[in-house]
Structure 1
Amino acid sequence: MTLTGEPSAGPRPPASGTVRAVPLRGRRRSPLSALLLASDGLCVLVVLLADLAVGGAHPGLAVFAVSLLTVHASTGLYRHRFEPSVLDDTPLLLAAALAAVGATSVLDALLNLGPVDGPLLRLVATTTALAVTARLTAHALVRWARRSGRVGHRTLVVGCGGLGAQLTAVLRRREHGLLPVGFVDDTPRLPVTARPLPVLGRIADLPRLVREHDAAVVVIGYSNVPEPVVVDVLRACHGLDVEIFAVPRFWQVTSTSRTMQLLRGVPLVRLRRPAFRAPSWRLKRVVDVAASAAGLLLLSPLLALCALAVRLQGGPGVLFRQERVGLAGRRFELLKFRSLHASAQESATRWSVADDGVPRLGRWMRRLSLDELPQLWNVLRGDMSLVGPRPERPYFVERFGAEHDEYLWRHRVPCGITGWAQVNGLRGDTSIADRARYDNHYVENWSLWLDVKILLRTVVQVVAAAGR
């Protein structure tokens, strides 16, 4: 399969030898998000300057200000919304203020940065009141800009049927900052005379259509195309800077929540952005470099002992090197301690080696995952990450990609020493379909905390294996 951003029209991507990632365009900034962030920053600055002018800044105010903006960002108060409302924001603004006060109190107890007292609480109340007022103004400006046509994100609507026509009619009112440019569907259900917009192409063409029409938003309605095809197409858009929203099934009886957007009563679920577009994604590489470097340094005595044991038992050739497939189909040389005799090492086309033929030292090293420790060098070099889908040999990538619909989509993030599939028991001769499902769940739900959870579970499993 080639992840070129244009999968086949069938229920699975085409199989071929390589995987290529779609280049990411420059990230668009939402005017509403930028305006809300600027208004909050201005409110905080006004309170800081006013407090300084009156009689010296309160020592805890700066800490509160930073905490407040951090909580606002983490709770989604700066996300783009189609129907912004101060009444919807006010409970979150109040909760954010309380959380920021709590963070200020904790930091004061730890670092003596300034107490949470009466004067600070008055400043907190002032800041919150200003933030609510500023949002009223910001929302009014955004609504004016949308209605006047000064703000309009080009939008593709997937599904040319009754729901698609309803969504298009709503969007053409210019109340939501979206400018519909056409439908995308394989078998349009609306007759030509009843279509408010042209059908631009098939669903399999969506990545190309996003680029050609410079679309910033895609709204997924209902179509007759099988769901697996749509899923593959959406995954192929992972390198494009486009926001994707989907109308949930049974939306007429679906309870809405803050995670949903509304288009005049029609709920939309925002599909999660690709992991590499998250602000915290850059920290993943920082953690990888720091942890692998520290691991190589601190574990150097253990690495030396393992190397010596392998050398004494099996002779020359302490390290086993093998070509594997990593991020976007890039091949690299994976390092392991040799756990088999040199003449019996696993080949590029042999799936697994039974433990019955593994020497006692090799079985012991495999049980404790000591044979994987040289991969810390792969992590430091950038071939791998600490956490990610396990890399496989090119022959099996070809084979499994042809046999399992979801297998090749796991190459959207760097491969890892340990992964979500491994900590859920999918190691060795286990289901490839299950592995692909778990790995893609990791790709589409990545967070730094998920990495931490996987690492902790890996340590627990290694310790448990040592006791057996």
Structure 2
Amino acid sequence: MKQINLFIKRLFDFLGSLMGIGILSPILLIISITIKFSSKGPVFFKQKRLGKDGKVFNVFKFRTMVTNAENIGNGLTVKNELDNRITGIGRFLRKLSLDELPQLFNVLLGNMSLVGPRPPVTYFPYDGYQNYPEWAKKRFLMKPGITGMAQVTVRNSVPWNDRIKVDNKYIDSFSLVLDFKILLLTIKKIFSTDNIYMDV
């Protein structure tokens, strides 16, 4: 039964991301042009993340910070919207989570899902998949998602280990109905700025 649900989930991911890219293409184009002409640097931000079974892949986002921001100031941590590494358009994109839209291409390619645990960077909170404790590796049993249970509940208000526990709960409770509920809650969360910072 679970395998059938996973097959339907992948089919929904493929069709949903394809449809989303098509419908949102004018918005994607406008954002791209605005980023290009408002600050120096590439339109897209590419970063290596850990995916299903700990495999490394490149995640795509719209660039919301100055180039090389990871090596400036607080590094991966973005405490609030006053962080001077965030660009003008970047502040707006982050507030509405529009910087995440390019991840629809990750979903289309098959290395992400619409719903699942968020993919961590390769070196934090643990340095490499092999250094995660066994209990935490459960979160890698499914493809990472653009949104997930942690994003619609605790978001970035708790330490990573607590977020991992929420991810594990999602793995244990997975169902297509749960995915649908998370997608609906995500739409609601887009208009809330609670706990969007202190992310790493």
Common topology (TM > 0.5): yes
Cα distance per residue 1:47-89 (max 9 Å; x no partner): xxxxxxxxxxxxxxxxxxxxxxxxxxxxxxxxxxxxxxxxxxx
- Residue 137 of structure 2 is matched in structure 1 by 408
* Cα distance in structure 1, aligned partners of 2:71 and 2:8: 35
Q: Is the 8 A contact 2:41 2:66 kept in 1?
A: no
* Cα distance in structure 2, aligned partners of 1:299 and 1:352: 29
* Cα distance in structure 1, aligned partners of 2:113 and 2:167: 14
- Residue 328 of structure 1 is matched in structure 2 by 53
- Residue 116 of structure 1 is matched in structure 2 by none
Cα distance 1:350–1:457, how it changes in 2: closer, same or farther (>3 A)?
Answer: same
* Cα distance in structure 1, aligned partners of 2:192 and 2:39: 28
* Cα distance in structure 1, aligned partners of 2:179 and 2:42: 33
Q: Higher Cα Rg: structure 1 or 2?
A: 1
- Residue 359 of structure 1 is matched in structure 2 by 87
Gapped runs of 5+ residues in structure 2?
A: 194-200
**C-alpha displacement of 1:399:** 4.0
**C-alpha displacement of 1:403:** 7.2
Q: CA RMSD in A?
A: 2.2
- Residue 197 of structure 2 is matched in structure 1 by none
Q: Is the 8 A contact 1:397 1:408 kept in 2?
A: no
* Cα distance in structure 2, aligned partners of 1:320 and 1:302: 17
- Residue 18 of structure 2 is matched in structure 1 by 293
- Residue 338 of structure 1 is matched in structure 2 by 63
Give the counterpart letter for 1:315 in structure 2. Answer: K
Q: Is the 8 A contact 2:69 2:75 kept in 1?
A: no
- Residue 283 of structure 1 is matched in structure 2 by 8
**Equivalent position to 1:317, from 38, 42, 53:** 42
Q: Percent identity?
A: 37
**C-alpha displacement of 1:352:** 1.6
* Cα distance in structure 2, aligned partners of 1:425 and 1:375: 21
**C-alpha displacement of 1:350:** 3.9
Cα distance 1:337–1:322, how it changes in 2: closer, same or farther (>3 A)?
Answer: same
- Residue 443 of structure 1 is matched in structure 2 by 171
Give the counterpart letter for 1:372 in structure 2. Answer: E
* Cα distance in structure 2, aligned partners of 1:320 and 1:424: 26
Give the counterpart letter for 2:10 in structure 1. Answer: R
* Cα distance in structure 1, aligned partners of 2:133 and 2:25: 40
Q: TM-score, normalised by structure 1?
A: 0.38
Q: Is the 8 A contact 2:154 2:163 kept in 1?
A: no
Gapped runs of 5+ residues in structure 1?
A: 1-275
Please give the secondary structure, in 1, of the residue aligned with 2:53: helix
- Residue 396 of structure 1 is matched in structure 2 by 124
Q: Is the 8 A contact 1:410 1:443 kept in 2?
A: yes
Q: Is the 8 A contact 2:150 2:163 kept in 1?
A: yes
**C-alpha displacement of 1:351:** 3.4
Alignment of 1:226-305 (within 5 A): 277-305=2-30
* Cα distance in structure 1, aligned partners of 2:78 and 2:71: 7
**C-alpha displacement of 1:431:** 1.5
**C-alpha displacement of 1:344:** 2.0
